[in-house]
Chain A
Amino acid sequence: MAEAFFEIQNLKTHFPVERGVVFRRRIGTVRAVDGVTLSLKQGEILGLVGESGCGKSTLGRTVLQLIPPMEGTVILAGKNLTQLKAKELRRARADFQMIFQDPYASLNPRMTIFDALAEAIRCHKRVPRAELPARVSELMEKVGLSPRFLKKYPHEFSGGQRQRIAIARALAVEPKLIIADEPVSALDVSIQAQIINLLACLSREMHLTLVFISHDLSVVRHISDRIAVMYLGKIVEIGPATRVFERPLHPYTKALVSAVPIPDPVREKQRQRIILAGDPPSPMNPPDGCPFHPRCPSAVADCARIVPQLENFDPDQQASCIRLREINPA
């Protein structure tokens, strides 16, 4: 595909599980990310959803080379990030940034806001020293904070304001790609709205490519162009945001969508819930065949044998289920 700006191919991240103090031996492998392929256009927002432990955060971190991948490639604007040498990688890091979940933990409590933002710029030597204050003030304004706060320390800010600062810090190096890992999950509803608006507006204005990781489906539906659903390290469905929400194809997505509470008592009363039994299985010991089959309401005997691949249901929407056409009559 010529238009792909950011591409992940068959990415795998496995963590060894070891036991023993003197004679450490490997007793297993956690397949946190197990063969993910994705491609995004420039300026696109992809929502990545799934239950805790499905590998969505690990995927985000692997993409940014915070965790070395075991296999696969990550290509951003024509550059293969997995092949870069340490020095090249450090230089390339200006192109991709991350926003973390907890704005209380991701800012250094001993640095003023100015220092935190200036450090990011200085690291990548983008701006002469004399222009630094102006550049930092501009960043603050971009995220809706007054530059007079620059001398303050993180503890003087509320959660929403800190998340704005974290966003400003990510923007400081003018990245092309931002991975936001649960950026609004720690915030109150009214503050969530501010941050969602801000991210949507920034990505539009700056033509940023954004991967928005969240477990909150209604937030993801709102902000994303496309949604990818992960289960046990694999993408089980991907498609345009509204479509995935209104016509989910994979039985897991169906259950996930039906579990989201709707803040409308009338609609809430009418709808049918698909209640999944149990928890996701351990990624150390995934079931044979389709990883979802032990919890799947539409599973048949073949599901325990055949590993389903992502297949096109229509040109935009794909899902990995061997009964895709059977359970979704056209």
Chain B
Amino acid sequence: MPLLTISNLRTYFHTRNGLVRAVDDVSFEIEKGETLGIVGESGSGKSVTCYSLMGLVPQPPGRIESGSAIFDDQTDLLKCSVEELNEVRGKRMAMVFQDPMTSLNPYLRIEDQLIEPLLIHKLCDRNEAVRRGIRALEEVGVPDAARRIRSYPHEFSGGMRQRVMIAMALITKPELLIADEPTTAVDVTVQAQILELIKRMQQERGMAVIWVTHDLGVVAGFCRRVLVMYAGRIAESAPTEQLFSRTKHPYTRALQRSIPALQPKGAELYTIPGAPPDLSRPIEGCAFAPRCEFTQDKCGKPPIELKAVDPDHATACIRVQSKEITF
């Protein structure tokens, strides 16, 4: 039984410039203890997907138009009351945000922010919470935790703040951690530390992780399964190894060819022509078709659906589905 099952999630934003379909019919599930990567460029809907699950989409202008997200076969995160949501959110499911500089409150000591989840969910009293807070900081590698817990966020470096954010998310021992590009703002050496840390926590606690990133490299080393998102939809979904060795979507292929790390030094990089579509205009057919090198007339017409072509490997490309093209 999956830990979280998301079906037909649609999150739209009703803005002055029209209806923006940020997430458009996304379905996936995540098993207990699994690591799922969500890859995509900015505007692909990967963050909005996570925000929708956590009930953090500002409404209005946002609106969850349809779909369900069943957590542990009980709670539908998208439809339940705030009280029910709060039973899960911050306790059984936690999130780490992208920017540690803005996601900590500069007026509060680390201590108060770190142990807040324990107190809100009434998991223990304050003294015990502080003890657990210190232990949590030690676990994420903050030296001299007993003293440092009394500091304010500005006294920490970027990498240290991100560790505090992770400690805060993990302090309630959640079953699912949603990490929204937590290493984008930190250096590679700190990124390696954080990845190692989350891997260890995951093994110790059997926690499931959704790792949102634009970096295919992080996905390759860390995730068991990957979703590639484009223009609010899932383009491809596959186990990590298969995504790289047997790519089944032209967009995934184009991404791989455009990153320097996979190309011989100095070779001209493949560039995807054009720009991502304007999500405030309805997209007929495949959203990637105007930029795709394999596009045909039929790509511009619906229906475009995510279909499994191999066990556990699904693509939204109709030409791959009909076996007209392979990579």
Contacts and interface: CB of A to CB of B under 8 A. Distances in A.
B269 to A, nearest CB: 4
A276 B141 CA distance: 12
A265 B256 CA distance: 13
Contacts of B275: 158, 160
Contact of A189 (B41, B157, B244): B41
A51 B188 CA distance: 8
Interface stretch (B64-72, B117-125, B217-225, B315-323): B217-225
Nearest to B197: A275
A221 B271 contact: no
Contacts, number: 122
Interface in A220-259: 221-223, 241-242, 255-256, 258-259
A265 B269 CA distance: 21
Nearest to A45: B266
B222 to A, nearest CB: 8
Contact of B187 (A197, A215, A273): A215
A212 B296 CA distance: 40
A279 B221 contact: no
A247 to B, nearest CB: 14
Contacts of B218: 261
B155 to A, nearest CB: 12
A190 B272 contact: yes
A218 interface: yes
Interface string B183-215: 000011111110110000000000000000011
Interface string B244-257: 11000000001110
Instruction: Give the interface SS of chain B, mostly helix, strand, loop or mixed.
Output: helix
A268 interface: yes
Interface centre among B42, B254, B256 (most CB of A within 10 A): B42
A116 interface: no
B221 A190 contact: no
A279 B188 contact: no
Given A261-B217, A262-B217, A262-B261, A197 B189 contact: no
Contact of B220 (A222, A258, A263): A263
Interface in A31-58: 51-52
Contacts of A158: 275
B220 A52 contact: no
B241 interface: yes
A103 to B, nearest CB: 14
B263 interface: yes
A310 interface: no
A163 to B, nearest CB: 13
B78 to A, nearest CB: 29
A138 B19 CA distance: 39
Nearest to B44: A188
B272 to A, nearest CB: 4
Contacts of B214: 188-189
B282 interface: no
Contact of B188 (A196, A217, A263, A277): A217
Nearest to A196: B269
B259 to A, nearest CB: 6
A259 B189 contact: yes
Given A51-B190, A193-B259, A217-B188, 14 more contacts: A52-B187, A188-B214, A189-B259, A190-B255, A192-B259, A193-B271, A197-B269, A200-B266, A241-B265, A260-B261, A263-B215, A263-B216, A264-B220, A265-B240
Interface of B: 41-42, 141, 143, 157-160, 187-193, 195-196, 214-221, 240-241, 244-245, 254-256, 258-263, 265-266, 268-272, 275
Q: Give me the 4 closest cross-chain CB pairs, A-B, nearest first.
A: A261-B217, A222-B260, A218-B261, A193-B258
